[in-house]
């Protein structure tokens, strides 16, 4: 089935209070009738629903009677997943099963967001068909959610993201904001790893890609990342350049061992994704990572100038 999303299309988005949720809400609420929920009700357009609790999430979804369900809910802090693994499994796996089962009962399309982190880093690039080998609790629990969706639903999109950037200084929990917070603290030397490789994924483009996929009706698994690839070090260099701080900030290359106490969850050396299927089906809307980072950095420039 494919359909054109319009104002009467009802789209339910769980876990919409985070960095991807903001871009999703901004895009889809202009086009369709959206109900957005999260356990962290940090916007006036969010209501409470917990994907771990079947009764809570089922009541919230059924009351809306959606045409599509998109599940973004996850514990995305990899160290927290190691520390509180029970909650990681209940949120990322059981919670994803709960939402998928409701989509199955309603016989409507379902979108599940997976991660490049499900690959084990045995090689440099991973296409849509490569075999996952998740290393961490986060990756294992996300992959369990992915497997259930694939094995159970007839109408699904599993869309795998890479290193997410988006949400700005308030919502971004990942690398860009971690760098920015160090700048706010007055640091002039940043230690950044150069031995972790991946593909940045801009939330604004990623949301547009989900729209394109939904309207295509081509169900299945898709890698969806910004074209091009890099190391964490290269992302930091580019971000500092965008902020025009390259003359005052020194970026010190370090290996992952440097951060082994702070970032102890196992991570693959490379989690670079290739958008093989999106390109083949002419559905790739993601712009290259440096173009996206240039756009995204404007939010940080503004924030910096308004301190």
Ligand X SMILES: NC(=O)c1ccc[n+]([C@@H]2O[C@H](COP(=O)([O-])OP(=O)(O)OC[C@H]3O[C@@H](n4cnc5c(N)ncnc54)[C@H](OP(=O)(O)O)[C@@H]3O)[C@@H](O)[C@H]2O)c1
Binding residues for ligand X (CB under 6 A): 14-15, 17-21, 38-40, 50-52, 72-76, 91, 95, 113, 115, 142, 161, 163-164, 173-174
Quick one: CA torsion of 87, 172, 263, 115, rounded to 10 degrees?
A: 60
- CA gap 60, 70 in Å, rounded: 13
Question: Closer to ligand X at the Cβ: 38 or 67?
Answer: 38
The residue (of 169 and 245) whose beta carbon lies closer to ligand X is: 169
Q: Which is nearer to ligand X, 138 or 219 (CB)?
A: 138
Residue nearest to ligand X (CB): 18
Q: How far is the CB of 244 from ligand X (least distance, A)?
A: 26
Number of other CB atoms surrounding residue 305 within 10 Å:
7
Residue whose token pair is 């849509």: 128
Given the complex with ligand X, which of 42 and 250 has the nearer CB atom?
Answer: 42
- Closest approach of ligand X to the CB of residue 296, in Å: 13
Residue 78 CB, nearest approach to ligand X (Å): 9
Of the pair 52, 150, the CB lying nearest ligand X is at 52
**Minimum distance of ligand X from residue 209's CB (angstroms):** 13
C-beta of 169: minimal distance to ligand X in Å? Answer: 13
Nearer to ligand X, 235 or 249 (CB): 235
Smallest distance from the beta carbon of 243 to ligand X, in angstroms?
21
With contact defined as beta carbons under 8 Å apart, do 34 and 11 qualify? yes
The three state secondary structure string of the chain is CCCCCCCCCEEEEECCCCHHHHHHHHHHHHHCEEEEEECCCCCCCEEECCCCCHHHHHHHHHHHCCCEEEECCCCCCHHHHHHCHHHHHHHHHHHHHHHHHHHHHHCCCEEEEEEHHHCCCCCCEECCCCCCCCCCHHHHHHHHHHHHHHHHCCCEEEEEECEEECCHHHHCCCHHHHHHHHHHCCCCEEEEECCCEECEEEHHHHHHHHHHHHHHCCCEEEECCCCCCEEHHHHHHHHHHHCCCCCCCEEEEECHHHHCCCCCCCCCCECEECCHHHHHCCCCCCCCHHHHHHHHHHHHHHHHHCC
Nearer to ligand X, 173 or 187 (CB): 173
CB of 206 to ligand X, least distance (A): 9
CB of 6: closest distance to ligand X in angstroms? 25
| Closer of 60 and 249 to ligand X (Cβ) | 60
């Amino acid at each position: 089935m494919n359909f054109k999303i319009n104002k009467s299309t009802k789209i339910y988005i769980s876990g919409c209070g985070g960095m991807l949720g903001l871009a999703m809400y901004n895009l889809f609420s202009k086009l369709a009738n959206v109900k957005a929920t999260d356990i962290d009700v940090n916007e006036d357009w969010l209501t409470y629903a917990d994907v771990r609790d079947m009764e809570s999430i089922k009541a919230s979804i059924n009351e809306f009677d959606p045409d599509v369900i998109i599940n973004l809910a996850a514990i995305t802090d990899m160290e927290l997943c190691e520390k509180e693994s029970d909650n990681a499994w209940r949120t990322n796996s059981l919670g994803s099963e709960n939402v998928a089962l409701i989509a199955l009962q309603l016989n409507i399309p379902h979108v599940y967001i997976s991660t490049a982190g499900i690959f084990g880093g045995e090689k440099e690039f991973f296409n849509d068909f490569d075999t996952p080998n998740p290393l961490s609790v986060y990756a294992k629990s996300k992959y369990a959610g992915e497997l259930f969706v694939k094995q159970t639903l007839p109408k699904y999109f599993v869309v795998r993201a890479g290193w997410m950037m988006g949400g700005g200084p308030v919502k971004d929990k990942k690398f860009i904001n971690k760098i920015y917070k160090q700048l706010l603290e007055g640091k002039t030397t940043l230690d950044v790893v150069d031995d972790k490789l991946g593909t940045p994924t801009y939330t604004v483009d990623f949301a547009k890609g989900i729209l394109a996929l939904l309207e295509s009706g081509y169900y299945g698994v898709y890698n969806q990342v910004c074209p091009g690839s890099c190391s964490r070090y290269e992302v930091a260099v580019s971000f500092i350049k965008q902020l025009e701080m390259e003359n005052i900030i020194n970026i010190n290359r370090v290996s992952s061992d440097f951060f082994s106490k702070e970032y102890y969850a196992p991570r693959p050396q490379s989690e670079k994704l290739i958008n093989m299927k999106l390109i083949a089906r002419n559905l790739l809307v993601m712009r290259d990572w440096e173009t996206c980072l240039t756009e995204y950095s404007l939010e940080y420039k503004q924030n910096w100038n308004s301190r």
